[in-house]
Amino acid sequence: MSAPKKIALFGGTFDPVHLGHLQLATTAKQSLDLDEVRFLPCQISPHKLGTSPSRGEDRCEMLRLVTRQILWAVVDDFELQQAAPTYSYQTAEAMAERFPDARLFWVMGCDQWESLPRWKHPERLAAKVEFIVLARDRDPQPREGFSLHVIHGEHPASATKIREAIASGEKMHPWLAPAVADWINKNRLYLPVG
Ligand code: ATP
């Protein structure tokens, strides 16, 4: 019998996707020998920093532009298609139904690993996925009932700082892929409202 396909789910706002996200996905892929990383943009609040928020379609398109040449990357608008914001455990349960023979993982930064006990039904998420967590200044601590794989490779990128830079008139940012910067400028994303 062949080994199950290893699929990692990577949820986030990706507003916009930046090189830190790509490095995290790449490190996870290489460290765990994953077959696929599925980027799952979530629904977000329409108010951020007083700038115009990007629509789900824009965030998805920026993800598609940046992963176009990456064979193991998939952009999945599953959460954006739901009527109401989706909890991660619901996404994981839906993916387990969609890929019944796969071994599922959930990729996240250390900050999210620490806040996980406050998520909705973390035990239901843990029942479906193994966690791949990027260590930052400290290693994530194991948690009973949760399967944990720690990976290393920090990147300084921050979507908040990128949005602030664009809002203050910058057209390009070193943490952005050029195709994403083009999309942001063409569609006038993150500019101050009014
Ligand atoms: P914001 O600044 O808008 O909060 P963000 O990039 O921190 O943006 P998300 O887009 O939701 O937030 O991040 C998705 C995932 O990527 C999260 O698991 C987060 O921990 C991780 N992540 C974000 N930035 C980095 C980075 N520089 N290096 C590694 N992982 C990151």
Per-domain boundaries in the chain:
6-153
Give one DSSP letter per residue of 152-176, joined into a string.
Answer: -------HHHHHHHHHTT-S--TTS
**Tens-digit pLDDT profile for residues 16-39:** 999 999 999 999 999 999 999 999
**Burial category of 98 from C-beta neighbours within 10 Å (exposed 0-12, middle 13-18, buried 19 and up):** exposed
- Tracing tokens 């999309």 back to the chain, one arrives at 183
Measure 122 CA to ligand 1 centroid, in angstroms.
19
pLDDT band at 194 (very low <50, low <70, confident <90, very high): low
% of the chain surpassing 90 pLDDT: 86
**Tens-digit pLDDT profile for residues 34-81:** 999 999 999 986 655 566 778 999 999 999 999 999 999 999 999 999
pLDDT band at 165 (very low <50, low <70, confident <90, very high): very high
**Tens-digit pLDDT profile for residues 73-88:** 999 999 999 998 899 9
Measure 108 CA to ligand 1 centroid, in angstroms.
8
Asked: is 6-153 a CATH 3.60.15.10 domain? The reply is no
Measure 21 CA to ligand 1 centroid, in angstroms.
6
Residue 49: predicted pLDDT: 53
Which of 76, 2, 86 minimizes the C-alpha distance to 40?
A: 76
Q: For all residues of the chain together, what is the average pLDDT? A: 94
Nearest CA to ligand 1 atom 21: 109
Tokens of 123: 């035990």
Atom nearest to 159 CA in ligand 1: 2
- 48: which strand partners? 51
Residue 138: predicted pLDDT: 82
